[in-house]
Amino acid sequence: VADRLAEFGETIFTQISELALKHGAVNLGQGFPNFDGPDFVKEAAVEAIRSGKGQYARLQGVPPLNSAIADRFEKDYNVKVDPDTEVTVTCGCTGAIAAAFLGLINPGDEVVLIEPYYDSYRACAAMVGARVKYVTLRPPSFAIDERELRAAFSSKTRAIVVNSPHNPTGRVFSRKEMELIASLCQEHDALVLTDQVYEHIVFPGTSFVSMASLPGMYDRTVSMSSMGKTFSLTGWKVGWAVAPPPLSDAVRKAHQFLTFAISTPLQWATVTALRAPDEFFQQLTHQYTARREKLVTGLREVGFRVFEPEGSFFVMADHTPFGIAEDDVAFCKYLIEHVGVAAIPPSFFYSNPNDGKHLIRFAFCKDDDVLSEAISRMKAKL
């Protein structure tokens, strides 16, 4: 393994999913729905394959998809973007993140990560030779500490990664938090790379603020997302980056040599998906609100201290009330082997594993039956 990746092991998602399978555990670990995506989207893919949309797509995306992404961006965030020069279709949001890091960050540049962080950000930083500065979110509020955030910025800061709704805490950063990030980026002439894949899974009472819509921020923001979470098709790996032309050019420069283009028929089907009626998005919120309620209530009844999420399909809980395990890894192992439920140990998402060792992350992108089974196993055995 090359030095740049030597410190990284197999991702925790793969490890936990394999362990869950081995022990027949109900999998509330890796964040993928156990239900299928909607028929109208699947049918659109079948139709695209049948009608011969089988050759390479244009590198920045098939034109109708770039337009559908631009239209959604305007509808959702009131920002008008040019579909041809400001939208790039990538291999999931993970592909967009990799292309943004490779296209925009130089070795030695500083990148600010808010921790717990999704694991690919730190790996991408390592792959481009960036230096990482961490800002830690701590329970119970998981709020951004202004002093810590300020201290993370310097004259060497090239970018901050902002993931909201946030995996794994379920935070949706407030307007005030987003404005603070924005003002520091303006002060230090830094970019914002956003990962907003849970943008449509936000619970009542909370609103998602997109960085690109804040005054003066569009020009320094790469907004990244995907269709996987919104349409419960995480395996399709269709994502995108929206950014002003100079930043989009840089993202494309990397993207063209990473994958060149993305699955053509799935891009066509994503056009149909993104043009779904408003009711689709309302129903999504409605269903996830019910799933959140079920799991949060269940976990509290089991005896966890639960930090209720504002968005995403994850919930963090404190496992120390049980006094079963020293840390999150040991607790997760116990949970899989003795209780038959899989969850993710969040210490993997902190630069100092001690910061996450009393926590555990559950995913609730699961059917009612699965959530019920997990809760009843935990009630019986914890």
For residues 117 and 137, what is the distance between their CA atoms, to the nearest angstrom?
10
- The residues in 259-318 that bind ligand GLN, with binding defined as CB under 6 A, are none
- The residues in 130-169 that bind ligand GLN, with binding defined as CB under 6 A, are 167
Helix residue ranges, H only, the chain: 12-23, 39-50, 63-77, 83-86, 92-104, 119-128, 146-152, 175-187, 245-258, 264-274, 278-302, 328-334, 368-381
SS percent in the chain: helix, strand, coil, step 5: 50, 15, 35
Contacts of 367 (CB under 8 A, 6+ apart): 34, 35
Residues 165-204: x/- map of binding to ligand GLN (CB under 6 A)? Answer: --x-------------------------------------
- The residues in 22-41 that bind ligand GLN, with binding defined as CB under 6 A, are 30-31
Q: Exposed (0-12), middle (13-18) or buried (19+): which is 327, by Cβ within 10 Å?
A: middle
Closest to ligand GLN by CB, 31 vs 37, is: 31
Closest to ligand GLN by CB, 57 vs 363, is: 363
Closest to ligand GLN by CB, 13 vs 322, is: 13
Closest to ligand GLN by CB, 31 vs 265, is: 31
Ramachandran angles phi, psi of 317, nearest 5°? -140, 155
Closest to ligand GLN by CB, 30 vs 221, is: 30
We find the least distance from the C-beta atom of residue 175 to ligand GLN, in angstroms, to be 25
How many other CB atoms sit within 10 Å of the CB of residue 376?
14
Which residue has its beta carbon closest to ligand GLN? Answer: 31
Contact 172, 208 (CB under 8 A): yes
**What is the total count of residues that contact ligand GLN (CB under 6 A)?**
5
Closest to ligand GLN by CB, 324 vs 370, is: 370
We find the least distance from the C-beta atom of residue 30 to ligand GLN, in angstroms, to be 5
Cis? peptide before 168, omega within 30° of 0? yes
- The residues in 228-257 that bind ligand GLN, with binding defined as CB under 6 A, are none
We find the least distance from the C-beta atom of residue 363 to ligand GLN, in angstroms, to be 6
For residues 226 and 138, what is the distance between their CA atoms, to the nearest angstrom?
27
**Residues in touch with ligand GLN (CB under 6 A):** 11, 13, 30-31, 167
